Structure 1
Amino acid sequence: MDLGLKGRNVLITGGTKGIGRHCAEIFAEEGANVAICARDSAGVTETIESLKKKGVKAIGRGVNVADKHALTSWVKDSAAALGGIDIVVANVSALAVADDEAAWEAGFGVDMMHSVRLVNAAMPFLQKSDAAAITLISSVSGREVDFTGPAYGAFKAALVHYAQGLAMKLAGAGIRANTVSPGNTYFPGGIWENIEQNNPELFAQALALNPTGRMGKPEEIARGVVFLSSPASSFTTGTNLVIDGALTKGVQL
């Protein structure tokens, strides 16, 4: 299937590892130009070099997405360098799973406000695109109460609500907005590898919850993100795509 991504310009936050890195790679393989950011400047440089080998424009910058000025500057500079913006993917999370005020502050500043600021900064450019799409990475923790802290789940649920509102508001302008809610996703350097090594009891508990007997792979989530963001999914907006291997039990009506 041709996803219609050749020559499109895509911005991805948190694009150096896990789901974000695989999104960047798949977008590039489909012929899209990609701009990434992450806090790890060295990781950004390595990722850009890898993406360029796929024959597309690839740029990036070390950015703390909780810094409004740094984030908005990266968006505007990326639009100038690529020649516009067609797609934005908000992928960064503070992963604030504790039950304390610090988790609420981190979740609001990173998960929620970085997504809002990314959308706001990109909006003037998305309005000029004929295939504009916004995709926010939420979580199954936003669908049902689980072993994560209340702040993490609350902000992940808020992202779904925010995207639904954007979808309704922007439909007339031809701008789509959706969320993807991954289940537990395992990759080297990720939170679940850390938990496996340092809290094996919790890891075993989480693994046992999934009827597939395993956790997701980042590329499995990324494929859904890329399709949902692409012109091939042009009539899909206001949707929360759950990719969790049947982990969650709630029925999404």
Structure 2
Amino acid sequence: MSTRSLPLVFMNLGGEMLYILEQRLKSDDSCEGGAGKGRWTDADRTRVLNDVVATLFSKVFLDELFKPQQLYSHRTMKTVLSRLAHASIMRLNPASMDRLYELMVMAFKHQVLLCPRPRDVLLVSYNHLDSIRHMVQDSPGVLNQVHEAQRRVIETYSLLSSGELQLLRQTLLNFFEDYHIRVSLLLKSRIQNPNGRFVLDTRGPVPHGVEVPGLIRTFDCRGREVQRCEFPTGGDFTSPIREGSFDICGDRVLNLGRNM
């Protein structure tokens, strides 16, 4: 299990939480304890987002996150994110927080499953950080906190080997393993099956630097190839496309908060 997965989990789940909160705060009946007569003003919405982002990217919190450590349990993760969500004037009842956490986890899980290479998990994280930066662009102090968080992500993860990144991705997949929550938007888009599992495409080009699956090579103790055999892949894969011409953070990635 990777001891470097915790910062990415919090930043990506935090990004999904902010997407959803931003949309819900724009809804007239979304307020459970906010301003006025149950309606949020633009100033209220800005304050909530700024306060949550400022807490998520505070130096003390980031220092704790970036310490090498095991990934938290879902129960602990939900507790910490609930405190982050309540860092401002907004209040969510337990049922709303439970549903919010489920949406956050399923959205991030889908994005990780779409990553053709372990390193692409970093692209998903940068995507979330860019969106968060846009949310707080009018608050220089909070914006600087996001810049610092991105600097630390680049410094920590950009030099990891392919094996370390694969271990990180596997740690994330283990974290998501037992979560098969059905989401109406994902079901309508046919991204999810009725049992809550995602529909993954088994066609198209493999990532750059990767061979088309279907061949097993056997080597002797001196590293010489001594045998080859083929196996059915169950898909229709093709040779890799040119590196740099495909970005997994494009239209294929669905952010629940942006599509609600």
TM-score normalised by length of structure 1: 0.31
1 or 2, which has the higher strand percentage?
1
- Greater Rg over alpha carbons, structure: 2
With a CA cutoff of 8 Å and minimum separation of 6, indicate the structure with the bigger relative contact order. 2
